[in-house]
Amino acid sequence: MTEPRIPDWLLVEERREPPKDRDVFLRRSADALRALLREIRSAPERRHGKYAFSTTVRLAFTFVVVLLVSAARNFAFVELVGVGLLALLATYRSKKLVRVLAAPVQAFILAAIILAPSLFWGQTRAFVVVPCKAFITTAALAILAYSTNWNRFTCAFKAFGAPDALVFIFDLTLKYVVVLGEICLETLDAVRLRSVGRNRRKARTLGGVVGGVFWRAQKMAQEQYDAMTCRCFAGKYRRFRAPFRAADLLALALCLILIALFVYLEYAIRCSN
């Protein structure tokens, strides 16, 4: 009886070194999506404290701040609001601060780059004022977005008398960003896992991923419509009347003070001219 012999090919040490492959595009896209989904999922966990302003008042207050800062010609008003926002930001924890400040800092830098040529024409004031305004308005919106439970925006929109169609679109958008984001993430992971060897055309998969997600979105929208029709949803949202709290009164007073300051400072600058 002959002894079993190990085939030669099994004795040869296999040295497979796959060519270095770059998957920056896929990895970054997936990371960005994960961060977005994490943010949306954490939104419902945001607890509004006992003394916090209601979402409707927050929305109105932010709108007034953005409007007044954008319209202000007296830089003292911009400074005043900016200092108020800085004081509020100083109370935030480190991680939240980084998240809230990311967009305003980008807006500031972008505005400064766009306005950099104005320096050559001696318009130093515009170079200072516009980036500051961009920072403050973006910071106001970021503070609203990161400290408010997003589901309550639907409520707040309706309280302002927004058309049902708009409320419906906003409501569905929030939900579908999560659902479609997950589908997108799974597709990206699948593409990354199945991509064996050196593949220089990973960026070209974008069309396929987006197309696939779009097709599924269409299908899900139809299913959603059918399901809602079956449940007798006629596209009407009822107005939810949140109780008016003492904190809301404070916000209202603050809003009136801001408007009065705006008018006073604008009048002062007009008189000085």
Partner 1 sequence: MHIPDNYLSASTCAVLAIATAPVWIHSVKKVTREFPKERFSALGVAAAFSFLAMMFNVPLPGGTTGHAVGGTVLAVLLGPEAACLALSIALLIQALLFGDGGVLAFGANAFNMAFVLPFAGYYSYLAFRRVTRVLSGKSSEGGSLVPDCVAVALASYVGINLAALAAAVEFGVQPLLFTDGAGQALYCPYPLSVSIPAMAVGHLTLFGAAEVVFSVAVYAFIVKTAPDFAVNRAVFAPKSAEAQPDAESEKKSKFGPVYLLIALLVVCAPLGLLAEGTAWGEWGADEIAETVADGKTLGYTPAGMTDGFAWSALIPDYSTNGLPDWAAYVLSAIAGVALSVICFKLAAAFVKSEPSQQS
Q: In the complex, which residues of this chain contact partner 1 (CB under 8 A)?
A: 74-77, 79-80, 82-83, 86-87, 89-90, 92-95, 97-98, 101, 124, 128, 132, 265, 268-269, 272
Joined tokens for residue 229: 């029709």
Instruction: Give the 3-state DSSP-derived string for 214-239, with helices as H, strands as E and coil as C.
Output: HHHHHHHHHHHHHHHHHCCCCCCCCC
Cβ proximity to partner 1: between 97 and 252 the closer is 97
C-beta of 15 vs 93, nearer to partner 1: 93
Q: Which helix (H) or strand (E) holds 153?
A: helix 151-159
Least distance to partner 1, CB of residue 77, Å = 8
Nearer to partner 1, 48 or 99 (CB): 99
In contact, 148 and 93? CB cutoff 8 Å: no
85-91-94-99 Cα dihedral, nearest 10 degrees: -30
For residues 159 and 56, the answer to whether their CB atoms sit within 8 Å is: yes
Instruction: Name the region of 8 (left: φ>0; alpha: ψ -120 to 50; beta: rest).
Output: alpha
Q: Considering beta carbons, is residue 254 or 269 the nearer one to partner 1?
A: 269
At 168, is the secondary structure helix, strand, or coil?
A: helix
Which two three-digit tokens encode residue 83?
Answer: 């200092």
Closer residue to partner 1 in complex, CB, 101/251:
101
Q: Which is nearer to partner 1, 81 or 141 (CB)?
A: 81
Shortest approach of partner 1 to residue 141 CB, angstroms? 18
Least Cβ distance, residue 83 to partner 1 (angstroms): 5
User: In angstroms, rounded to a whole number, what is the distance separating the alpha carbons of residues 148 and 144?
Assistant: 6
CA triple 144-147-59, angle to 5 deg: 30
Contact assessment for residue 56 and residue 155, using Cβ atoms and an 8 Å cutoff: yes
Smallest distance, partner 1 to C-beta of residue 123, A: 12
Least separation in angstroms between residue 124's CB and partner 1 is 6
| Least distance between partner 1 and beta carbon 204 (Å) | 36
- Please list the helix, strand and coil fractions of the chain in percent, rounded to the nearest 5, in that order: 75, 0, 25
Q: How far apart are CA 31 and CA 222, in angstroms?
A: 29
Other beta carbons within 10 angstroms of residue 188's beta carbon come to: 23
Provide, rounded to whole angstroms, the least separation between the CB of residue 75 and partner 1. Answer: 7
Q: Which is closer to partner 1, CB of 217 or CB of 261?
A: 261
Shortest distance in whole angstroms from residue 125 CB to partner 1: 9
